Amino acid sequence: MTTNATAGTALPECEIQERLNRLLCDIHAATRQQVGYPVNQDFNYSALLPFLDYSINNVGDPFHPSNYWSNTHAFEREVIARFASLMRIDPADAWGYVTSGGTEGNMYGLYLARELFPNAMFYFSEETHYSVLKNVRVLNARHIMIRRQENGEIDYDDLEAMIRVNRDLPAVIMANVGTTMRGAIDNIPRIRDILRDQAVTSHYIRADAALSGMILPFVGDPQPYGFDAGIDSVSISGHKMIGAPLPCGVVLTRRPYVERVGRAIEYVGVEDTTLSGSRNAFTPLLLWHAFARYGDAGFRKLVAGALDTAEYAVGQFNERGIPAWRHKNSVTVVFPRPAPEVFRKWQMAPEGDITHIITMPHVTRQMIDDLVNDCAARELSS
Ligand SMILES: *Cc1c(COP(=O)(O)O)cnc(C)c1O
């Protein structure tokens, strides 16, 4: 018997507890098998629980004073400064805020681009996260979807051909720094070469580094990814590599860009530089806490462990005759889509005839062994 709280009757306390406990059990069980999505399940933020007793709100620009004093803007600014350093820009030259996740970050980065270059053509590969197509539609921006290579990188020849026929327009390019499906990283220097060869001087490179933005700063030989490589804005998710109980992320850009947009909006009378009005004040604390606990050395260790597990997974799959592969510096292991029951059991994400696992820090070698066994057993029996 389940009582439906939506029927309008208050439930007895024990029944409320029972319903919640059952949900908690289900979530706990699901978490143990999770290998298909890029979310780190290893975290402990219990030190922050007392903040749930207050209605904190980060409304407005974190770098400007607010009339709503119960905020965590000071911590948010520290988080932004840390991410700025990781993305290789002087924090004094960077602006950003903590978002609700990658989709809002992409939206913000593309919105800024459109404000800077109202008649620009937007380019992104078909491997790009689904939020980008939605975002350019919301912005009513002219866009061209570029082919991808088999490994998930943008097809540079197709990009060059499309830019050539639109040479008279400013170019906004969405570069993937770790695609969702294959972990592919678009070659940013090569994209800049194409822009230079086509003499397109008005351009804006947007980087989507949802997952890899917290990997590349901590490896020895990263692919170019940061502001030093010529990007103009980037977003990184908080609930992916770092791990968080609530979805969140960060968007960063060059400070002068936002000052231009800020002026445009000032005429409605507010210092309204963010997309959302009321904003989550708890998620900046989560990120701050993670940075404070790990430090760079801690993240280097976390990332090295996840990359080791990925390499282990490729090896185990290959040993059993399953052609798994991954990109350099990627925790995304791509392999042929297994039988439906294996696929469901491990909560994998499909794309046509391939799937992937993402060896986040909570994914153990034991889980890999079990998964590889399941995949191999099914291959034999089919
Ligand atoms: C996960 C992801 C996003 C979107 O993140 P949400 O937080 O789910 O909005 C964007 N881009 C890439 C490449 C991603 O992997």
Collapsing DSSP to helix, strand or coil, 168 comes out as: coil
Q: Which residues, 6+ apart, have CB-to-CB distance to 9 below 8 Å?
A: 3
Two structure tokens written together for 277: 């009005």
Query: Any idea which residue has 């430090």 for tokens?
Result: 295
Q: Ligand 1: distance of its center to the CA of 65 in Å?
A: 30
The predicted-structure confidence for 128-159, as pLDDT tens digits, reads as follows: 999 999 999 999 999 999 999 999 999 999 99
**Predicted confidence band of residue 161 (pLDDT cuts 50, 70, 90):** very high
Read off the pLDDT of each residue in 328-352 and give the average, rounded to a whole number: 92
Q: Is the pLDDT of residue 33 over 80?
A: no
Q: How far is CA 144 from CA 8, 74, 169, 200, in A?
A: 50, 40, 13, 16
* Mean pLDDT estimate for the chain: 93
Among 109-123, 178-192, 252-266, 303-317, name the one with the lowest average pLDDT. Answer: 252-266
109 C-beta closer than 6 A to ligand 1: no
Collapsing DSSP to helix, strand or coil, 152 comes out as: coil
The predicted-structure confidence for 64-121, as pLDDT tens digits, reads as follows: 888 788 999 999 999 999 999 999 999 999 999 999 999 999 999 999 999 999 999 9
Q: Ligand 1: distance of its center to the CA of 104 in Å?
A: 9
Read off the pLDDT of each residue in 229-252 and give the average, rounded to a whole number: 97
Contacts within 8 Å (CB) and 24+ apart, 325-330: 326/183, 327/151, 327/152, 327/182, 327/183, 327/184, 327/185, 328/221, 328/223, 329/185, 329/212, 329/215, 329/216, 329/219, 329/221, 329/222, 329/223, 330/178, 330/183, 330/185, 330/212, 330/215
At residue 180, φ and ψ (nearest 5 deg) are -60, -45
Cβ contact 97:251 at 8 Å:
yes
* Per-residue confidence (pLDDT) for residue 381, from 0 to 100: 55
Atom of ligand 1 nearest to the CA of 106: 10
Two structure tokens written together for 45: 């933020």
Whole-prediction pTM: 0.93
* Per-residue confidence (pLDDT) for residue 196, from 0 to 100: 97
CB atoms within 10 A of CB 221: 7
Among 26-35, 234-243, 308-317, name the one with the lowest average pLDDT. Answer: 26-35
Q: Ligand 1: distance of its center to the CA of 358 in Å?
A: 14
* Per-residue confidence (pLDDT) for residue 263, from 0 to 100: 57
Known catalytic residues? 330
* Per-residue confidence (pLDDT) for residue 37, from 0 to 100: 84
* Per-residue confidence (pLDDT) for residue 54, from 0 to 100: 96
**Predicted confidence band of residue 232 (pLDDT cuts 50, 70, 90):** very high
* Per-residue confidence (pLDDT) for residue 273, from 0 to 100: 87
Atom of ligand 1 nearest to the CA of 177: 13
Read off the pLDDT of each residue in 158-163 and give the average, rounded to a whole number: 98
Q: Name the β-bridge partners of 57.
A: 280
213 C-beta closer than 6 A to ligand 1: no
Collapsing DSSP to helix, strand or coil, 222 comes out as: coil
Q: Is the pLDDT of residue 270 over 50?
A: no
Atom of ligand 1 nearest to the CA of 240: 1
Q: Ligand 1: distance of its center to the CA of 102 in Å?
A: 4
* Per-residue confidence (pLDDT) for residue 30, from 0 to 100: 84
Read off the pLDDT of each residue in 45-67 and give the average, rounded to a whole number: 92
* Per-residue confidence (pLDDT) for residue 317, from 0 to 100: 97
Give the start-end residues of each E strand in the chain.
Answer: 94-99, 121-125, 142-146, 171-176, 203-208, 233-237, 249-254, 332-336, 349-351, 354-358
* Per-residue confidence (pLDDT) for residue 42, from 0 to 100: 86
**Predicted confidence band of residue 63 (pLDDT cuts 50, 70, 90):** very high
Q: How far is CA 246 from CA 78, 251, 355, in A?
A: 19, 17, 25
DSSP 8-state code for residue 247:
-
Two structure tokens written together for 261: 């947009």
* More confident site: 207 or 381: 207
